[in-house]
Structure formats: C-alpha cells, structure tokens
Structure 1
Amino acid sequence: MTEPINHDPLVLLARRAAAAGAEVLARREVAEFNLQDKSAAGDWVTDFDRAAEEAIRRVLLTTRPNDELTGEEYPSARPTHPSGYRWSIDPLDGTVNFVRNIAYYCSSVAVRRESDGKWLAGAIHAPALGVEYFAGHGLGAWKLDVKSSKLERLHAAEASDAMVIATGFGYDATRRQFQAEVLKNLMVDYVNVRRIGSAALDLCLVAEGAIEAYAEYGTQEYDWAAGALIAEEAGAKVVRPEQSPGWQYAGHVDPSKLPASDGR
C-alpha cells in the first residue's frame, strides 16, 4: 500500500528537505536564539528560522536546481531556466512555541506545479514531537513515528455532535479582535477549541482525525502549503485562501460563518 508514495521523487525530496530543517531545530538547547521582532511584538524570528531555511534550500537546490523556491525568511530564488515547479518553505512554523520550549513546532515543505496550480507533495517534520507527516497528490497522507518507525495512513474524522476546532490568532490587535469575534460565532458548531500555535500542525491534526476542523484568517502560503495537502489527502475538505479570500480552513467548517474581510 505504501510503495507508490515511498518511491515518489517529489515526496521523497520534500521529506528530506523538511528533515534537514528539523535537524537544525533539534539543536535548540545548544545555541542562542538571537531573538528579533518582525511585523509586531511577539512575531519573532530567530537564527534557527534562518539556519533551517538555509538547510532546506540546500537540499532542494542540490537535487532540483531549476525549481523556484519561496520561503518565509529569504527572498524567492528564481532560476534562469525555470522548471515550472515551485517550493514553499516554512523553516520553523511555531516560532513562539520553539522559543518557549513548547513542543508544537516544525519544518514544513511543499511543491506546486505552476502550470495548473496543483500541490504535488508536502512534508512536515516536528522534531520535539518525534513525528513526520507527508503526502503526495493522489497518494494519500501518512504519519511516521520517527523513533519506532511506525507508519500509518491518515484519515480525517467524520462529523459528530462533539467536534473540536483549531484556530490561530494574528499579531496585530485589530486582526486578533476580528478572529475572536468569528470564533465566537463558529463555536455553536463545536464543543471545544484548540490553539496550539502552528498552522501546519493544526492541519495535520485534522488529517489524523484528532480534531474535526481548523480555520484561520490571514495565514501565509508557507504556513499551510504542506499541511493543506496532507489534510486533503487524508480525506478532509480543504479550502485555501485563493478559493476563500483570507481564510484557510479544513475539515467540517461552515463557510457561511467566515466573513470575507477583517475590515482593514
């Protein structure tokens, strides 16, 4: 059953690249963070974010030098003779968790074919959790326990009368207020909410059926590129921001409760 995805070259490369980023993150106990703010207080970047992205880019460029690379920390790398494939990189999704030693952080890598906009492969590696998630278009979604080497195929949960939703909040106060108001309206459909601090891992939790839904306004492509494919290949309904302006959501979400703009 696993043979096609285990031999898909784009999936294998996504996994190797995400693992290279995660290897950098696993050194958090032995190096300084060099913590800096980006857009607002709490929107942190560290030397680990940059070093992990550099490691991921090296893996990708060594194997596929004609692919375009877009990431969170560095400008896009556009080759002279583009292949038509583009990688989306989040070297450290969950930086606040990483800095505060909360285990929910990861490296996330996905590739898209630009001719038709199809996401073909994605991988997410969470070193503190000891897990790897990955998927290929039409090949299913999978979770690997790194220590035990246990591999399982993922299946999203069915709707129930005791559903849990995950979400996130922005660093801008106006956006947070908007997100909180939307969540208040959404909560009539759910018995509880989770906010773990990593959009990529939220989507993986939908994929493995641990929660039934995830919705967040204002995420960037690198936040959801790999996770959205993983959730989709696990059978969850996935809507990306280009399909629903501003919103990334997956699982059992009522889109009529997601307003189109935060008013800014």
Structure 2
Amino acid sequence: MSTNPKHLHAASEEAGTRAGQDAALPRELLAVAREAAAAGAAVLAERGRGRVATDTKSADGDWVTDFDRRAETAVREVIAAARPNDAISGEEYGRTDPASPSGYRWSIDPLDGTANFVRGIVYYCTSVAVFGPLGDAAEQKALAPAAAKQKPGASAGHTLAADGAAMDAGTHAWLAAAINAPALGTEYYAAAGDGAWLVDSTQPTGSVAGRGGRAMRAQRLHGAHKDAEGKLLATGFGYDADRRQFQVGALLGLMPSFANVRRIGSAALDLCLVADGTLDGYAEYGTQEFDWAAGALIVAETGLPVLRPRTDPGWQAAGHLDFDALPSEQAEATVVKPAKQVKK
C-alpha cells in the first residue's frame, strides 16, 4: 500500500493552518453535528429489551433495522434545518444534494454497530461528521457562486481520492465530528483545531444545585502513551469469507507489536477508544466513509496519526501502529494454480 506521508492527517493538518481561516466555522459546524448525533442517539435509546427485528442487506449478519432508518431521518432533519445548502451522505438513504450546494458534505452513520444493537450489546452509536473547504468567511462567500453552479454530486471532495487530494492541497478538511453512544452514556466530539473531547454521563463532576441532577464536564482526550505496556489493537471483519481471510492474515502481521486484540463491533467507537486511550491502535480494511469519518477526526485532534483510505476498499487506521505493515489486498486475489500437464 502507499505510505505517502500526506495520507497521515494529524491534528495540525485537520485544523487547516492556512492564514485567515475563520476559526468560528468548525465550532458552528460542531454545534450542528452534536445536535444531529444526539437526535439519532435519542432514537436508538428507545430500544427495549430482547432482540430487535432486522432486514438483511448484503449478507447474513449485515443487518438494517427500523431504528437505523428512523435515526438517519432524525439526523438528516437536524442538518437540513441548520444547513439547507449542504450535501448529506448517509448509510441508509445515500447522498442528497441541494439545489444550491455550499460545498460542505455531511457523512452520517445513524447506527454504527447494528449487530451489537440487534443483540443487545452496548457498543453502538450515531456518528456525524462534515467535510468542506477551508478559509475565512469572506473566502467562503466568494466560493459560493462557483459551488452553486456545480451539478449535484459534482462538489469538491466527493470521492475518497478527491478528498485526500484536497486535504493534501490544504483547501479542504474534515471540520467537525460528533459520536453519541446512548447505551454507554458517552459523547465524543471534535472541531478542527479545538482538540477532541469526551462527555461521560456515568462520571459526574458535581450536583446541579436545586435540580437534583448531575453536572458533567467535557474531558479533553490525548490518547494512550506511545510506550505503554500491554498494547491493545482493535479491528473488525467483513461479511465476505475471502475478505475475512485477508483481514485475519493482515492482523497476524500486526500482532507482534501488540499484547492482544479487541473486536468491539463499531468502527466509530473503536476510533473513540483510541482517542481516549482505552485502546492503543485500530486498523480495519474495507470500511465505508460513514464508519470512520467522525472517529478519524476525533483521533486526529488528539495528536495521534490517522490513515484514511484513498480507495474503496482501503485501510483505515489510527493510533500507535506501523502503517507500513498494512498489506495490499492484492495478496488476497493472488492464487497460484498448478500448471496444466500436457499429455504426450
């Protein structure tokens, strides 16, 4: 695989350090992201006991539920109300382009960890992130007419390769992200240049006077120490048998640097757990943009290295691991067949 250093976008790059960037913009977008993620999580919080009814998508175990659909609708409604000219890409309802595109695109996963959700395992969440151009308010106003002339689907950075190229050029970045895990009582979020943060409702910092409630304070995240002992690596596996075989082989190549591995079942939360230092690294092949969009920014804002895929499928990785050790999937397709014998 390519190990171009430009594929690694750390916190300083996420912040978009070009002179004159409007620092308020990522914070404004973050407010929308947090509200949208909370709206999706509120739908997921309606889950009762027992197993949830499912429909099968691509393969056995690749499920979708009514909660997925309703949560995505809730997320979309919040974004559309606050940012009517932004594009939205979601797992369940695809991409929606406005008539006058702003150049910003939201990537949402209404329920990351659906299999966990179905079976009552608490590691699931709503994930929301936004990608778009950098620059100050005046520059964005100047860009608006050009963006409005673009055809739907033609806005800058709408493919993995284009996103990466735009980030390398310093014109675009992932600007804000929020991940809300209702069963865990946690919310992770980040705005470019403002660090990564965790609000944990299970860890109150004091009482709310006169209300009988509890006050919660956001905790800034810094990831695990690079030289920590007993490192844990998180990963995930696809539904296709050949893909899983490749992923297992790649995992074996990474394990000498780690004491053990965890398979939590939510790429978004894997990344969050790298950001808060619970896990030391994460690597998975073949995830979709909505799986990693928010979590990758959250990790990057801790200062840890992040690898985003430039191709689909590709590697998404973060934390303290050797990105050079991630193999190309071409090895999966390499099959050596015995030579045919020619009868004499």
TM tier, smaller = over 0.9
3-state SS of paired residue (1:150): coil
Superposition map of 1:53-202 within 5 A: 53-113=72-132, 115=156, 116-146=171-201, 148=204, 149-160=216-227, 161-202=229-270
Residues 86 and 98 of structure 2 are in contact (CA less than 8 Å); yes or no, is this contact kept in structure 1? Answer: yes
Q: Which residue does 2:307 correspond to in 1?
A: 239
Equivalent position to 1:209, from 270, 277, 286: 277
Give how far 1:158 is off: 2.2
3-state SS of paired residue (2:287): coil
3-state SS of paired residue (1:108): strand
Give how far 1:244 is off: 10
Residues 49 and 120 of structure 2 are in contact (CA less than 8 Å); yes or no, is this contact kept in structure 1? Answer: no
Greater radius of gyration (CA): 2
Give how far 1:145 is off: 1.4
3-state SS of paired residue (1:29): coil
Q: 1:138 to 1:32 in 2, by over 3 A?
A: same
Q: Which residue does 1:249 correspond to in 2?
A: 317
What one-letter code is carried by the residue in structure 1 that aligns with 2:221?
Answer: L
Q: 1:30 to 1:211 in 2, by over 3 A?
A: closer
The answer as to 2:256 corresponding to 1:222 is no
Q: Which residue does 2:328 correspond to in 1?
A: 260
3-state SS of paired residue (1:176): helix
After the TM superposition, which segments of 4 or more aligned residues of structure 1 sit over 4 Å from their partners? none
Q: 1:235 to 1:31 in 2, by over 3 A?
A: same
User: Which moved further from structure 2: 63-72 or 158-167?
Assistant: 158-167
Distance 1:92 1:120 in 2: 21
Cα RMSD (Å): 2.1
Q: 1:166 to 1:31 in 2, by over 3 A?
A: closer
- Deviation by residue 1:56-114 (Cα, 9 ceiling, x = unmatched): 00000001100000000002110000000000000000000001111100000000005
Q: 1:118 to 1:126 in 2, by over 3 A?
A: same
3-state SS of paired residue (2:218): strand
Residues 205 and 211 of structure 1 are in contact (CA less than 8 Å); yes or no, is this contact kept in structure 2? Answer: yes
Could you say which structure has the greater relative contact order, defined with CA pairs below 8 angstroms and 6 or more residues apart?
A: 2
